[in-house]
Structure 1
Amino acid sequence: MFVLLMYGAMFALPLWVIAVVVKLLSVVVPGRRPDWARDLLRWSAGMAAVAAVIVYTIGLGSVQWDASEAESGAGSSPAVPCRSLPPGTLDQLAGHEPSYFPLGFDCLLDDGRVVAAGGPYSLLNLLTAAFGLAAILSLLALGLQDEYRARAEMKAESVAAQGKRSS
């Protein structure tokens, strides 16, 4: 199932890139709306969250693909991610264990040790965390910007009210 989702995410990735490029171009072009910064921040938070979901979905599909490949067919043992282990360690290979959170693929050795297999999983975990953090920070910045704007308006109203009283 995750492999099918991975294909959908891989299809969505170029569409995401196109949307980001078009949005950035719309910010550069003259004639922007007055609230373009707030709109861009809100939009960026959403797109960062979408990117985190896309990257994590691709990682889920990759883990499931490797696990499926390791369990069926000729040449399935050792598991493809475990084949990058050093020759001495590769001789002690007893099995494998996929991990869906965090993304990873562990190789189990005869003596009970667990060795992380090679593959793109650490990069996918890092990208997912970075995009997720970017989404959260963008939402926090949006909230702070709204709070700052509201306080500035209250302060301006207060100053205006005091000016009317003193006249």
Structure 2
Amino acid sequence: MIIGLGIAAGCALGALTALMGVVAMAFPGRPRPWPAHLLRRSAWLAAASAAAVYSLGLSGVLAAEWAVGDGADSTPAPACRDGFAPATVQGLSHHRASYLPLGFDCVREDGSTYTSDPDYAWMNRTSAVLALSAAALAVGAGCAAELRARAAAR
């Protein structure tokens, strides 16, 4: 768990560094052509932020997975039992951990399932939106560089 939190902290530090690069574009003395640099730095910011959010969720899934079978009343995963009504948890037999997307499928004895902690849903959505934004910004930076090269060739 410490490793997962360390990775999340490292990604968050990378996101803050990238954020400072984006903010630096607002000050005088910025590199030219500044739109291409801004797109590139924003892409790095979005990618680092996506990695930070995903690794935070991943460390949560791994911690819950490691807690299974570690003492009395530890099976199935606490993520499937904690915070749910007793009627929901009744008949719980096992769980299935998922790392992409993050979360747990909690399986009852009759075969029906329910999803665990709703915090994983926002982590999945946020990391997906940030990753797609990073890809779009990187493509935009590439297109801007291509257009600039074509204009210079004329």
What is the TM-score normalised by the length of structure 2? Answer: 0.85
The 1:128–1:21 alpha-carbon spacing in structure 2 relative to 1, beyond 3 Å, is closer
CA contact (8 A) 2:12 2:48 kept: no
2:91 corresponds to: 92
Return 5+ residue gaps in structure 2 as ranges. none
1:64 and 1:15 map into 2 onto residues whose CA distance is 22
Deviations 1:99-140 (A, max 9, x none): 112111111101011211124211111121112101110111
Structure 1 residue 74, shift from structure 2 partner = 3.1
Deviations 1:59-108 (A, max 9, x none): 22211111122321234245322223332221121111211121111111
Between Structure 1 and Structure 2, the one with more helix by share is 1
Paired residue total: 153
The 1:63–1:136 alpha-carbon spacing in structure 2 relative to 1, beyond 3 Å, is same
Percent of aligned pairs sharing the same letter: 33
1:141 and 1:67 map into 2 onto residues whose CA distance is 39
* Structure 2 counterpart SS, 1:32: coil
1:136 and 1:14 map into 2 onto residues whose CA distance is 19
Q: For 2:37, which of 32, 36, 39 is the aligned residue?
A: 39
CA contact (8 A) 1:48 1:132 kept: yes
2:100 and 2:15 map into 1 onto residues whose CA distance is 26
CA contact (8 A) 2:43 2:133 kept: yes
Deviates more, 1:7-16 or 1:140-149: 7-16
Deviates more, 1:90-99 or 1:76-85: 76-85
Q: Which amino acid aligns with 1:143?
A: G
What is the TM-score normalised by the length of structure 1? Answer: 0.79
Alignment of 1:116 onto 2:102: no
* Structure 1 counterpart SS, 2:67: helix
* Structure 2 counterpart SS, 1:28: coil
1:52 corresponds to: 50
Q: Which amino acid aligns with 1:16?
A: G
1:82 corresponds to: 80
Structure 1 residue 34, shift from structure 2 partner = 2.2
1:97 and 1:61 map into 2 onto residues whose CA distance is 16
Q: For 1:71, which of 42, 47, 69 is the aligned residue?
A: 69
Q: For 1:26, which of 21, 24, 27 is the aligned residue?
A: 24
Q: Which amino acid aligns with 2:7?
A: A
1:18 and 1:144 map into 2 onto residues whose CA distance is 26
The 1:48–1:92 alpha-carbon spacing in structure 2 relative to 1, beyond 3 Å, is same
Name the Cα RMSD after superposition.
2.1
Alignment of 1:145 onto 2:149: no
* Structure 2 counterpart SS, 1:70: coil
1:147 and 1:21 map into 2 onto residues whose CA distance is 25
